[in-house]
Amino acid sequence: MGLSKLNGLYREVILDYANHPRNKGELASTTNAMTLHNPTCGDTINLQVEVADNKIKNIAYTGDGCTISQASASMMTEAVKGKTTDEALAMAKTFSDMAIGKKHDDADLDKLGDAQILTSIMEFPARIKCATLSWWALQRALLKDDKEENDNE
């Protein structure tokens, strides 16, 4: 098989997001924040969100990780910027469901924008967590779920 199967996972658009990350950095004003780690590989995401009038006015992340986790964080911030928190939480749920193979209709998937390309992650079970980490961070930041980070499984 060789590396040809990798084309499904590392599509050009994914590599582009990883190599030219969007919204990477820190916000001047933050209302919601979350740091999550992937304990198996040491990936980290620090997510900062500025919520105003129930809308995501600004969002940024810093962190370190593999191509998939960086691309996913980059895509996630692009997808949710300007959305209401409810919309963003629904998108996070769609993405998490999608990553574990649960079906959603096309309308839900379309809302994810470029991020839906990462459905290809399902073919690489060991890498699903890389893609979902930033969406979990978003969920927990918006819900202000800052309880002790004890299980990212």
Partner 1 sequence: MVNKIDDVQQDFPILNQRVNDERLAYLDNAATAQRPRQVIAALTNFYETDNANVHRGVHTLAERATKDYETARQKVQKFINAPSADEIIFTKGCTDSLNLVAATYGEENVHEDDEIVISVMEHHSNLIPWQQLAARKHATLKYIELTEDGELDMADAKEKITDKTKIVAITHASNVLGTVTPLKELADLAHQHGAVIVGDGAQAVPHMPVDVQALDVDFYAFSGHKMMSPMGIGVLYGKADLLRAMPPYQYGGEMIAAVHRDQSSWADIPFKFEAGTQNIAGAVGLGAAIDYLTSLGMANVQQHEQALVDYVLPKLLAIPDLVVYGPHDPAKHTGVIAFNLKGLHPHDVATALDMDGVAVRAGHHCAQPLMETLNLTATARASFYLYNTKEDADQLIKAINETKEFFKIGTI
CA–CA separation, 10 and 2 (whole Å): 14
Q: Give whichever of 94 and 120 is closer to partner 1, judged by the CB atom.
A: 120
* Shortest Cβ 18–partner 1 spacing (Å): 9
Nearer to partner 1, 20 or 102 (CB): 20
Which residue, 106 or 148, has its beta carbon nearer to partner 1?
148
Q: How far is the CB of 100 from partner 1 (least distance, A)?
A: 18
* Residues in touch with partner 1 (CB under 8 A): 1-6, 9-10, 15, 40-44, 64-68, 70, 124, 126-127, 130
